[in-house]
Structure 1
Amino acid sequence: MDSIGEAVAEIIHEPTQIRDDGGVDITVNEIYNIQQPGQLDFGGSEIKPADVQSHSKQLHNESDTYQWWHLDEGTYLIEYNESLSTEAHLQPRTEMLEQGVTHPSIRVESLPMIPLSVPSTGIHIKENARVSVIFPIA
């Protein structure tokens, strides 16, 4: 595979998302509130996913095409628009970190929902915002 971009499907706008540094920006499709805890056990027979609910969105202007999530302090789950077909390193974009918003930097083989941590100031995130970046594993 020549580039990580070849392993990413459902890219919204390739010229914007394919980076000069070899990475691909990944966009948010949905943000979920964690309503009820899940559970984990040693053997795996009692694993239950957490109960999640889509976080509400709103328009900033009546002429907007896309809506915004207004997130208060807390932990959310984010779901991506894109999918991945190879191993890569996923990390938050610098623009997120500079606002105190973060998620784990992890090695992935697909793009699972991941926890998003929001500081006390909160954040507004627009639909399809580029929130993460993936890089090839060296």
Structure 2
Amino acid sequence: MLPKGVIVVNVGLRTLILSDDLLEYLAKNHLFGDALDVIDPEPLPNDHPLYSHPKCIISPLVKSIEGEMKIAVEMLFLNIKRLEQEKEITKTDKWEGVYYMGHECEIFANCLSFDERGEVLLSLNKCSFTTCQIV
């Protein structure tokens, strides 16, 4: 069993952490939060509770292409830091790109966007309000 108050980060195997088990631990406030690059089942259904859970960060499965992985990891760790500070976190949408929560756009990494197949494309411009929507 994991110690109480930890942050779970899964960038490994899809079946390493089952989403139902993760939801149970989050519901019991056993985990401080989680950050997932892979999840079971994949893809998650659009109405899956992990998408809207305030302590869950789900990033798209990012391929390791030089430069892109560094930015994706920076975004992941910025979100973890925001979660630790109890600030709202960025949410990713497979078809729409990155949505920033709250009233500010503080993430300094480049924005992610996706093609029609769900493959990650990377914008080389700094995040702006044309690519980030306040929700």
Instruction: Verify same fold: TM over 0.5.
Output: no
Q: Give the TM-score category using the shorter length.
A: under 0.3
Larger radius of gyration: 1
Q: TM-score, normalised by structure 1?
A: 0.26
Q: TM-score, normalised by structure 2?
A: 0.26
**Greater RCO (CA < 8 Å, at least 6 residues apart):** 1
Normalized per residue, the structure richer in strand is 1
